[in-house]
Amino acid sequence: MANILIIDDEDTYLELCERHLSEHTFVPPARNFREAKERLASSPVPIELVLLDVHFNIEEAELLPADKSGLKGSQREVTERLRRTQGFKILEALRPGYPDLPVVVMTSVEDLPIGLDAERLDAEDYTYLLDDEYLDARALRVQVQSILRQREDSREDETFYWGTTRVMRSLRQRLSVLARGQLPLILTGPTGSGKSLLAREHIHRRSGRSGDFVAVDLSTLPESLMAAHLFGVVKGAYTGATANREGVIERAKGGTLFLDEIGNLSLELQKSLLLVLQDHKYRPVGSVEEHSSDVKLVVATNEDLGLMVRDGRFREDLLMRLNPATAVRLPSLRDRKDDFEELLAYFLRRVCAHGYNKDLLARYAHRHGLSSGEDGLEVAVVTQKPGAAQPGRLTFLLHKSSAGSLREFEWPGNFRQLEMVLSNLVTFTLVSLVEDAGAPSPVSANAATIRTDVVPFPVKTVVELLRGFSVEEDASGGDEDAVEVLVRAHESLNAVSCDVERQYLERLYLKYDGDLDRIAELLLEDGSAGRKVQLRMNQLGIRLRVLQRRVRS
Amino acid sequence: MGGFSSSLTERLMSLKHDLGKYVAWQSANLDDDEWRDGSARLTAAVQRDILGTRTTRDGVRWPAWVIYEAGVEGMTAAEREQSAPELGRIEAHVRWMESLGERLTSGAALDDQEVRMRMLAAQREIRASLRELVQRARRG
Ligand SMILES: Nc1ncnc2c1ncn2[C@@H]1O[C@H](COP(=O)(O)OP(=O)(O)OP(=O)(O)O)[C@@H](O)[C@H]1O
Ligand SMILES: [Mg+2]
């Protein structure tokens, strides 16, 4: 079911739709362009489809265009013509603000007003005409259904998972609009909630910009290099500058510049960034010349920028320029419980789709004759005994208690952590089934009763994987430098080594006051690879921000 | 016979919109069974479609034959000629609807299966004729 807005000067469509398309919700109809604009902007529910009439018998003052002075013919003729084609005028006026909102214009190709460019209309992605000349509720219903389905399908292609809740849907719609605007955009939300992914895969893609997407993580960039990295540097500006080097602002020209952890920008560089936003002007380090660049700026932060302004750590004028009124906050995984099952299924498919897991799956499928040719394997997850086997499908069976544990878990590392847990879960589950390929497997021994297309996730593995992440809580007391290993029955080696690695990295982090480059120096003999260490810590589900707080105190 | 003028084409398109679309607006969505057996819902739908084909903003309801008359008003003899034979068929159907008079207003006419079947056929033929006519006009 969907929320549908009818734009029609009479109630004829509304009556018909409420009777025959009752599975959908119809928001109060709009009678003209002005009302349509209002409804779309302020509807409490996201509007997913518009049904737009063509003839509008409305007052001249309400007819588009507002300025009719240039139109040919007597006033009566002009008004008549505008009434007969008003739907298309409304569509034209609404489109720029809602480029991917599906709109069904309630007329068929045969009935298009004379002089209207049918081909252009046809080329529009989200504009549909009626299939039938005379509106038939059944046909309309089929058409609406198929438009909504198409939309679901195209959503499936997205790398960013939105889910099905209203909150997320309207967030998605809002972001699509903000993406196309010229103004900067602030993304907030806890670590691993998808800010970076959103900036790259959704905002940049929908910005309609032809330039590149360039991302900079300001939390891993040494302060001394920040200016050169952002604005570029001219040869000879300082000892190390042996050649002119472009800054990211230049590289993102005509595209999107994503500044992650904007809170780490020094006050001085904040001023320079402000100038970029105000005048599109900047000066590379050591340069007297002004350069210009037009970028769509997206910034992310975990900090409260308003608070930083109060503390004098962030420039108020920059914050104002960043368009704080439209800041978007991504919810944590904890707050996405409403459609958790679907979410789980999505991420499970995702972790199965590449790397080692994909390989393991292919081997498992091959061994049990599950693959159906080129298409690969479809992966599903259920919490109850699945229905009949289907060719080309493998179903993971998640015990109810495991599903409950996953659902109730805190997920401090959010989606990053979820991906890791699920990925490990698939790996550990399949490895034991695939690696002992030589021995006659117990599965084939009683093949009559055991289904090879259903693979249960061992409850124990889920418990272990989740327990692995709670170590940090009780890791405080005792010897500061010690790493502890508990000997437990059935502990997998991988879980043990992750556990040790995690504790080890945490100790180092505390010991070196959070200086990741120093840790990188120590571990990798590369003092500039702090980012790698950070990534690994993230992968292990270490809550860097909690650690940071401990370092500070 | 010459091509259709653009004003005639537009006029016929308006007639298709106002009469063709709305003459069966609600009743076209009812099943054949319901037409055969009759029902209160069917009677209400047909009454609404035929007696109130269009409703003006101030709430005045115009029956199908009045919409037809308004649509062809002022057409020249040559234009009528050009629009034959479709226009003639349409006219015959709306006149028949008009002739049901009080029996349609009270709904009694629609208790008769024969009348219902003829009504269904009339609606369909009005729509089909207008479709053909406009197609012909748009081809020029
Ligand atoms: N909605 C989502 N759909 C699909 N994948 C997601 C989603 N959110 C997060 N992820 C995945 O989770 C991981 C972390 O996402 P991302 O790096 O965008 O988070 P972040 O908010 O930028 O975190 P940090 O604040 O730590 O930089 C990535 O692997 C990403 O693919
Ligand atoms: Mg990030």
Nearest CA to ligand 1 atom 26: A191
Alpha helices in A106-247 (DSSP H): 118-123, 137-156, 166-180, 195-197, 205-206, 223-231
Nearest CA to ligand 1 atom 27: A191
Question: Is the confidence metric ipTM above 0.95 for this complex?
Answer: no
**Around ion ligand 2, which residues have CB less than 5 A away?**
A 196
pLDDT digits (tens, 9 = 90+) for B27-62: 999 999 999 999 999 999 999 999 999 987 778 899
Instruction: Name the percent of chain A lying above pLDDT 90.
Output: 44
Size (chain A), residues: 553
Of A160, A161, A193, A548, which is best to mutate to test ligand 1, by the most ligand atoms within 8 angstroms of its C-beta?
Answer: A193
Compute the nearest-CA separation of B24 from chain A (Å).
9
Q: Kindly state the greatest CA–CA separation across chain A.
A: 93
A49: which strand partners? A4
Nearest CA to ligand 1 atom 5: A160
**A135 vs B6, B16, B21: nearest CB:** B21
Could you tell me if A493 and A487 are in contact, meaning their C-beta atoms sit under 8 angstroms apart?
Answer: no
Q: What is the DSSP letter of A176?
A: H
pLDDT digits (tens, 9 = 90+) for A273-284: 999 999 999 999
Q: Strands of A296-301's sheet, edge to edge?
A: A213-217, A256-260, A296-301, A185-188, A328-329
Of the options 3.40.50.300, 3.30.70.120, 2.60.40.1080, 1.10.1270.20, the CATH number for the domain spanning A166-331: 3.40.50.300
Amino acid letter for position B72: V
Looking at residue A471, its pLDDT comes to 45
**Where do the structural domains in chain B lie, given as residue ranges?**
6-139
Q: State yes or no: pLDDT of A269 exceeds 80.
A: yes
Alpha-carbon distances of A207 from A171, A173, A203, A213, B135, rounded to whole Å: 16, 13, 6, 10, 42
CA distance linking residue A147 with residue A162, whole number of Å: 19
The stretch A307-334 carries a mean pLDDT of 94
pLDDT class for A429, splitting at 50, 70, 90? very high
Looking at residue B33, its pLDDT comes to 93
Q: State yes or no: pLDDT of A488 exceeds 90.
A: no
Looking at residue A114, its pLDDT comes to 82
A4: which strand partners? A26, A49
Q: State yes or no: pLDDT of B73 exceeds 90.
A: yes
pLDDT digits (tens, 9 = 90+) for A286-304: 888 899 989 999 999 988 9
Helix (H) or strand (E) holding B65: helix B64-72
The stretch A101-116 carries a mean pLDDT of 89
Please answer yes or no on whether A138 and B29 come within 8 Å at the CB atom: yes
Dihedral angle, C-alpha B73, B78, B79, B81, nearest 10 ° = 100
The stretch A355-366 carries a mean pLDDT of 89
- Which of A253-262, A513-522, B15-24 is the least confident region? A513-522
pLDDT class for B127, splitting at 50, 70, 90? very high
Ligand nearest to the CA of A192: 1
My answer on whether omega of the bond before B85 falls inside 30° of 0, hence cis, is yes
Those residues whose C-beta lies under 8 Å from the C-beta of residue A380, and which sit 6 or more positions away, are A345, A386, A393, A394, A395, A396
CA distance linking residue B126 with residue B140, whole number of Å: 21
CA distance linking residue A349 with residue B140, whole number of Å: 57
| pTM of the full structure | 0.57
Q: What b/e sequence results for A418-435 when a residue is b if at least 16 CB atoms lie within 10 Å of its CB, and e otherwise?
A: bbbbbbbbbbbbbbebbe
Q: Centre a 10 Å sphere on the Cβ of residue A269 and count the other Cβ atoms it contains.
A: 17
**What dotted CATH number matches A3-153?**
3.40.50.2300
Q: Which residue, chain included where needed, has tokens 């909630």?
A: A193
- Which of A124-138, A325-339, B72-86 is the least confident region? A124-138
Looking at residue A391, its pLDDT comes to 80
Q: State yes or no: pLDDT of A314 exceeds 50.
A: yes
Could you tell me if B21 and B78 are in contact, meaning their C-beta atoms sit under 8 angstroms apart?
Answer: no
Instruction: Name the percent of chain A lying above pLDDT 70.
Output: 91
Q: Is B61 in the A-facing interface, judged by CB distances under 8 Å?
A: no
pLDDT digits (tens, 9 = 90+) for A46-95: 899 999 999 999 999 999 998 888 888 889 889 988 999 999 999 999 98
CA distance linking residue A510 with residue A519, whole number of Å: 10
pLDDT digits (tens, 9 = 90+) for A158-206: 789 988 777 887 788 788 878 888 899 999 999 899 999 999 998 998 8
From the list A260, A116, A134, the residue with the least C-alpha distance to A200 is: A260
From the list A142, A141, A113, A144, the residue with the least C-alpha distance to A128 is: A144
Q: State yes or no: pLDDT of A551 exceeds 70.
A: yes
- Which of A145-149, A321-325, A413-417, B7-11 is the least confident region? A145-149
From the list A79, A68, A5, A62, the residue with the least C-alpha distance to A36 is: A5
pLDDT digits (tens, 9 = 90+) for A444-473: 445 555 788 899 999 999 998 998 765 444
